[in-house]
Amino acid sequence: KAGVTQTPRYLIKTRGQQVTLSCSPISGHRSVSWYQQTPGQGLQFLFEYFSETQRNKGNFPGRFSGRQFSNSRSEMNVSTLELGDSALYLCASSSRVSGGVTDTQYFGPGTRLTVL
Amino acid sequence: AQKVTQAQTEISVVEKEDVTLDCVYETRDTTYYLFWYKQPPSGELVFLIRRNSFDEQNEISGRYSWNFQKSTSSFNFTITASQVVDSAVYFCALSDPGNNNDMRFGAGTRLTVKP
């Protein structure tokens, strides 16, 4: 099976712009989660999508949003970029079902976003 | 509150040495899951192990072994006869119903194995 793929791998933006990152989960996985990784804050949970619905959301401002399509692919969007949004954004997929117990998350290679 | 602590920020060893990475967690739930991931320089988090709270058996996989002790809320990871390729950042994570089964990661331990 192909792993989790993320595009683009690298992105450079300027403050105030917006950005959209894409994630394709492992075939058959319906749950997609997004994480932000920075040197200062570590790995932080952004949100999780399951069957096109956002199920959980971390403690991030409304500038961070996402969506999931019927084929389970997911996108996350960050509007009005700030310098502090520079980070590695990781996507993970799992076969976790609605209301089910935790299943293992498999991560993609990440998108490294630099905000100038 | 749910929390994962990896007290060792960085560890440096010489090849063939054994090394143990510590992980201490906090949770109010009786059912929970613990994970270890490896993050090499490429950035991708690589899944190593998943353990549920009812299974306290230690696990061994090749040079890797894990020691889960509920009494001390610890889930330590040992690499035996370390190799240069083991150099990476290792993350311990906790998932429990009290937090919507979301994964909370520790700060990570950077392991450097020198030849």
What is the predicted pLDDT for the residue at B57? 82
What is the predicted pLDDT for the residue at A97? 63
Q: Is A48 on the interface with B (CB under 8 A)?
A: yes
Helix (H) or strand (E) holding A106: strand A106-107
In chain A, the residue whose alpha carbon lies closest to the alpha carbon of B107 is: A42
Model confidence at A109, in pLDDT bands (50, 70, 90)?
very high
Is 70 exceeded by the pLDDT of residue A98? no
User: Do B43 and A109 make contact, defined as CB atoms within 8 angstroms?
Assistant: yes
Q: Where are the alpha helices (DSSP H) in A1-116?
A: none
Residue of B9, B44, B91, B105 to mutate when probing chain A, most A C-beta within 10 A? B44
In chain A, the residue whose alpha carbon lies closest to the alpha carbon of B36 is: A104
User: Do A109 and B42 make contact, defined as CB atoms within 8 angstroms?
Assistant: yes
Higher pLDDT, B102 or A66: A66
Residue of A43, A54, A95 to mutate when probing chain B, most B C-beta within 10 A? A43
User: Which residue, among B23, B52, B54, B59, has the nearest Cα to A104 in the 3D structure?
Assistant: B52
What is the predicted pLDDT for the residue at B56? 83
Higher pLDDT, B2 or B18: B18
In chain A, the residue whose alpha carbon lies closest to the alpha carbon of B45 is: A107
Average pLDDT on A24-49 reads 92
Chain B nearest-CA distance from A65, in A, is: 17
Is 80 exceeded by the pLDDT of residue A111? yes
A39-97, pLDDT tens digit by residue? 988 999 999 998 899 988 888 999 999 999 999 999 999 999 999 999 999 999 988 66
What is the predicted pLDDT for the residue at A3? 93
Model confidence at B60, in pLDDT bands (50, 70, 90)?
confident
Q: Is A66 on the interface with B (CB under 8 A)?
A: no
Task: Tell me the CA distances in angstroms from B104 to A115, B2, B56, B74, B94, one per residue in order.
Answer: 26, 8, 20, 15, 5
CA angle A88–B102–B9, rounded 5-degree value: 55
Model confidence at B97, in pLDDT bands (50, 70, 90)?
confident
Chain A nearest-CA distance from B105, in A, is: 6
Assess whether the previous peptide bond of A8 is cis (omega < 30° from 0). yes
What is the predicted pLDDT for the residue at A102? 63
